[in-house]
Every structure is written in C-alpha cells, then in structure tokens.
A and B are shown apart, each in its own frame.
Chain A
Amino acid sequence: MRRSRFPIAITALVLGFLYLPILLLVVNSFNPARFSSRWEGFSLGWYAKLFQSPEIWQAVKNTLIIAVSVTTVSVVLGTTAAYALHRWGSSRLQSVHYTLIYQPLVVPEILMGISLLMAFVAVGVPLGLFTIFLAHVTFCVSYVAMTVLGRLQDFDFSVIEAARDLGASPWQSTRKILLPMLMPGIVAGALLAFTLSVDDFVITFFVAGPGSTTLPLRIYSMIKYGAPPMINALSTLLLAVTLTAVLVSQRLASRRSGA
C-alpha cells in the first residue's frame, strides 16, 4: 500500500507560494528598472538612494528607541507575570490575570489600536513616542509572559526549596537559581518582543503623533505614496537582519540544549 503523493505536492506548492514573492522582491532590489517585469542588469542604486535618505534614518532611530525600551519593560513585567501565573496557577486572582494576559493575543490589532487611541484622547496624553511605547508594552507583555510560562512548566520548584533549606535568602534563590534556569525563555521572549515592536504597524499607526514616525510607518507611506523600488532594497535589508537574528537565536538555543 502506497501513501498518496497528493499532500506532498500541496506542501511543495504551499512553500513555493510562501517564498516566491519574497524571493522576487530580493531579486528586484538589485534591478535598476522601476517595475519588476523588466530586468535591466544588476545594480546597487536603490541601496545607495536608501542610505542617502535622512527620513529613513530618523525612522530607524525612533524604531530602535521604542523597541529597546519596550523590550526592557515588557521582559520584566512578562517574567513576573509568568511567575505569578505558574506559582499560584489555581487561584481566582490568577485566572483573572491569565484572561487579561491572553486578551491581547486574541483581539485584532485594530481594536487594540483604536481603544488605546480613545483612552489617550480621553485623558489628554499627547500622541508620540511615549504613547507608542505604552501601546507596544501592552501587547509585548503577553507574548513574553506566554514564552516564559512555557519554560516555567518544566521547572522543578523543589530546587528552590532545597536552596532555601540550605540557608539561601528568597532574593538569592531567585537570582542564583530561578533566573539562570529561566534565561532561555526570557531571551526568547525578549527577542519576540523586540521583533514585534520593530514590526508593528497597525497599533503604532493609531497612537503615533507628529515626529514619531517609525520604520513600518515610513515603509507604509512609501508604499502608499510612491518610491516602491526603494522599499525592495529596504525590505531586503530587513529580511537579512531578521534572518540572521533567527539563525543566531536557533544556534544559541541548540547549543544550550546540547550542553
């Protein structure tokens, strides 16, 4: 009895479908022609143009300022949340806590964007980098908490009790045992928070103000109001950066589990 080849064929088609557009975009970033249907030879012209654009650099700067501060705050909040969820899992307080943390993962981004905008307008907070920071932390906390929670599930709390029996203070046992053992989960959560913050468009779009243009906002206005070939070059660079980050983190993760 032979297995049907049909599912394998569909899988191959699906992968082709997923990668072909990205591949063509990368190829086209080296094409000096304005449209993708004509190949006019290899050129780095769009990259040169990109590096001369001060608006891009300002957007990159804003994006990084937000992403770094968002990652820091959401890692601290997300890790403490995951600890509480795991330690007191069955209490009523934690079931409320869990529902709250789960919500940003389910609700469509546009709803989060609009509701935060309403809140900022109602209170009178001026829109800008700070409101983007608040909004990003709100959804990143959930992703960090879920990632760290996954790691905590394999954690054996009797190790902590052993340390306490041997005279370690609560702070010592947290810093010397719990945190190092959770580190892979925390790093993975931080990486996820950073990527989500760098990539977010919809929520940022709603809560951004004058002078707080981030990279996705800049890319969006480039798509919408001209300058397409430059986006090919910018996208290729972004792809290269994220792929390197993913490969490095994979390498780190496999080394850690191998040790």
Chain B
Amino acid sequence: MANKGRRRTEWLISLPTLAWLGLFVVIPTLLVFVIAFRPANPYGGIGAGWTLDTIRALWTPSYLAIAWRTLWISLLTTVICLVLALPAGYTIARASERWRNRLLMLVIIPFWTSFLVRVFAWKSLLHPEGLIKKLLEAVGLVGPETTLLYHPAAVVLVMVYTFLPFTILPIYAAAEKFDFRLVEAARDLGARPFQSFRKVFLPGIRRGVLTAFLVVFIPALGSYIIPDLVGGPSGEMLGNKIAQRVFTDRNLPHASALSAVLVLAVLAPLIAVLVLQRKGKKSEIIMGEAP
C-alpha cells in the first residue's frame, strides 16, 4: 500500500521533466529521421508520401568531401586540444593550493564569456587588415595577398581556441585524483620525464582523457558558427550544409537527412568511449584486487 503511494509520488514528481523532454527532445529527434524520408514541397514545407531520393542524394562526391572534412577537422582539433590540455591539466593539478585555484579560475572564465565574441575576436585578428596578418607581413612570413581567414586551418585554430577550456577541465579533474608518487617512483627507477609521463601518468588519467575526447570531438562534429564565420567555402562542414538546406534552399527533408547522418556520426564515438570506459572500469577493479 505504502509502496504504491511512493510509486505515485515518484511519477508525479518526475512527470513534468519527462513530459517536457519527451515533447521537445524525443519526438523532435524521431521526427528528423521520419522527415528525411518525406519529399519537400515547393513552399518550403514537407510534402505528402514517402521517398528515398533524399537519402540517395547524399551519396555524391560533394557531400562525401564535406563529410570527410568535418571528420578530419574535428579529429585534428581534438588531438591538438588534448596535446595542449595534458601538460596544462598536469601543471594545475600539481600546483600549490593557492595557485591551483587561481589557474582554475583563469581556465573557467572563458566558459562564461560569449562564444560569438570569442570567435569574433579571432576573426578580427585574422582579418586582412587585422593585427596578426599585419605582424606576419612585417616579419616577412606572409605576402600581402595571403589570406589567413576562410581556410580550414583558420577553422581548426578557432575551434582549438574555443574548446581548449573544456578539454583542460576533465583532464585536471582526473589528474587531481592521480597519485603523483607513482611518477616519482618511476623517475627514481630511471624513467626519463617523458617516459614517466607517457607510461605512468597517461594511463592513470585514462578516463579523464576519454571524457575530454568526447567533450571536444562531439560538439566539433556539429560545428556551425566557426566554419561559417572563419571557414569560407573551403572550410565548410556538415553543420553549414544543414543550415544552408534550412535557410537558403528551405529544403527541410534534405536538412533532416544530413542531420540524421550527424546523429549517427555522434553516436559512434559516444558508444565507443562508453565501451572503453566500461573496460577501463573492469581492469581497475582487477588491479584493485591484486595484492
């Protein structure tokens, strides 16, 4: 009797969010997959009947090129972020209490500043009349006609800039729990600094690295603003194509099909990391049981 009452209270308290998220997350996501199989109508809406033409239209060289670029830009961004975040997270975790709080604050502040503003800051630096371009020109590294903007490299640079704080935090969180005496023991036993970093520290913070990988790679795959503002046509990614299908051609089924591809692209690394983390958990347990 009391059990039944408790179940009812549980449902009652969970219902508002369950209903809201069901209505605005689950149904819309399913709708994207459904609309991908519907034809477009000439008024920018969704037509009647079913078709496979939209899915077929995705298998063209121009889309494959975009998909490939989206993948390598996201991967390169993630790798650069990790390479920079590992020493940074390590340093913050090993700093004295006072310095640790200061450094953490410095990493977190960009979190709270407008995303668009940070992208804009780079756009004006890379602009043909901007500071970086003029400096590089003065040093003689680039000619007056070189463009720094509107290039995949500019996209990677600005993406690293915006995602870096998100990479440092999970690595710091893992490094903070890491027992640094292990690194010292390795050094005592004759390991060089880099060896002890790679063979002792890195495996020790594996879960933090996997989390950092996800928090950069997944949003990177769905990037839209950065390639739109600093990428130009040669730096376009999947997100730009989705937006073009919605706002330029007003072809919602086509936009849906592209979004469905993005959903699948996002699910793959997510599931891979979940499996890897579960494995990691098992080996940790085994290590913990060893005498």
Inter-subunit contact B10/A91 (CB<8 Å) = yes
The residues of B that contact A138 with a CB separation of less than 8 Å are: 20-21, 24-25
Q: Is B79 an interface residue (CB 8 A)?
A: no
Nearest residue (CB) in A for B30 is A115
C-beta contact mask, B116-153 vs A, less than 8 Å → 1, else 0?
A: 11111111110101110110000000000000000000
Q: A77-B20, A84-B13, A114-B246 are in contact. Are A18 and B110 (CB under 8 A)?
A: yes
Chain A residues with CB below 8 A from B239, complex form: 108, 110
- Tell me whether B161 and A21 are in contact (CB under 8 A): yes
Q: Which residues of the other chain, A, contact B94 by a CB distance below 8 angstroms?
A: 3
As a 0/1 sequence over residues 211 to 253 of chain B, the CB contacts with chain A under 8 angstroms (1 = contact) are 0001000110111110001000000000100110010000010
Q: Which of B10, B27, B116 contacts A87 (CB 8 A)?
A: B10
Contact, CB under 8 Å: B91 / A8: yes
**Does A119 count as interface, using CB distance less than 8 angstroms?**
yes
B259 CB contact (under 8 Å) in A19, A103, A114, A216: A114
State A78–B21 Cα separation when bound (angstroms). Answer: 11
Are B88's CB and A11's CB within 8 A? Answer: yes
**A22–B87 contact, CB under 8 A?**
no
Q: Say whether A1 contacts B187, CB under 8 Å.
A: yes
Of B60-68, B202-210, B262-270, B277-285, the stretch lying at the interface with chain A is B262-270
With an 8 Å Cβ cutoff, the count of chain A residues facing the other chain is 82
Return chain A residues, CB-CB under 8 Å to B85. 14
User: Interface readout for A28-65 with B: 1 if CB under 8 Å, 0 if not?
Assistant: 10000011110000000000000000000000000000
| Residue A177 at the chain B interface, CB threshold 8 Å | no
A106 contacts partner chain B, Cβ-Cβ < 8 Å:
yes
Q: Is A246 an interface position by the 8 A CB rule? A: yes
Q: A-side binding surface: helix, strand, loop or mixed?
A: helix
A179 within 8 A of B: no
Report yes or no: A108 in contact with B262, Cβ–Cβ below 8 A. Answer: yes
**Interface status of B193 (Cβ within 8 A of chain A):** yes
Looking at the assembled complex, report how far the CB atom of A152 sits from the nearest CB atom of chain B, in whole angstroms: 13
Task: Evaluate contact between A199 and B115: CB separation under 8 angstroms.
Answer: yes
B46 is an interface residue with CB less than 8 A from chain A: yes
Chain B residues closer than 8 Å to A201, beta-carbon distance: 115-116, 225
A111 at the interface (CB under 8 A from B): yes
- CB-defined interface of B95-115 with A at 8 Å, one 1/0 digit per residue? 000000001011101101111
Interface-lining segment among A92-100, A153-161, A180-188: A92-100
Within 8 A of B (CB), among A130-180: 134-135, 137-138, 141, 145
Known: A223-B116, A224-B229, A235-B117. A88 touches B125 (CB 8 A): no
* A6 adjacent to B10 (CB under 8 Å): no
Determine which of B10, B14, B120, B168 lies in contact with A231 in the assembled complex, contact meaning CB atoms within 8 Å.
Answer: B120
Which of B31, B87, B125, B165 lies in contact with A6, CB distance below 8 A?
B87
For B188, list chain A residues within 8 Å (CB).
1
Complex contact A110–B262 (CB within 8 A): yes
Is the pair B112, A243 in contact by a Cβ cutoff of 8 Å? yes
Contact across chains for B91 and A107 when beta carbons are under 8 A apart: no
Q: Is the CB of A114 within 8 A of B255?
A: yes
- Bound form: Cα–Cα A112–B259 in Å: 10
CB of B155 within 8 Å of the partner chain: no
Judging by beta carbons under 8 Å apart, are B17 and A115 in contact?
no
Q: A81-B14, A108-B223, A119-B27 are in contact. List 18 more A-B contacts (CB 8 A).
A: A11-B92, A22-B118, A37-B129, A37-B133, A37-B134, A84-B10, A106-B214, A107-B266, A108-B219, A110-B259, A114-B32, A114-B242, A117-B246, A119-B31, A134-B24, A138-B24, A216-B114, A242-B112
Binding site for B on A (CB under 8 A): 1, 3-4, 6-8, 10-11, 14-15, 17-19, 21-22, 24-25, 28, 34-37, 77-78, 80-81, 83-84, 87-88, 91, 93-94, 96-97, 100-101, 103-104, 106-112, 114-119, 121-122, 134-135, 137-138, 141, 145, 195, 199, 201-202, 205-206, 216, 219-220, 223-224, 228, 231-232, 235, 238-239, 242-243, 245-246, 250
Q: List 10 A-B contacts (CB under 8 A).
A: A10-B91, A11-B88, A15-B103, A17-B161, A21-B118, A36-B130, A100-B21, A115-B29, A119-B31, A239-B114
- Which 3 A-B pairs rank lowest in CB-CB distance, beginning with the nearest? A108-B222, A7-B87, A115-B28
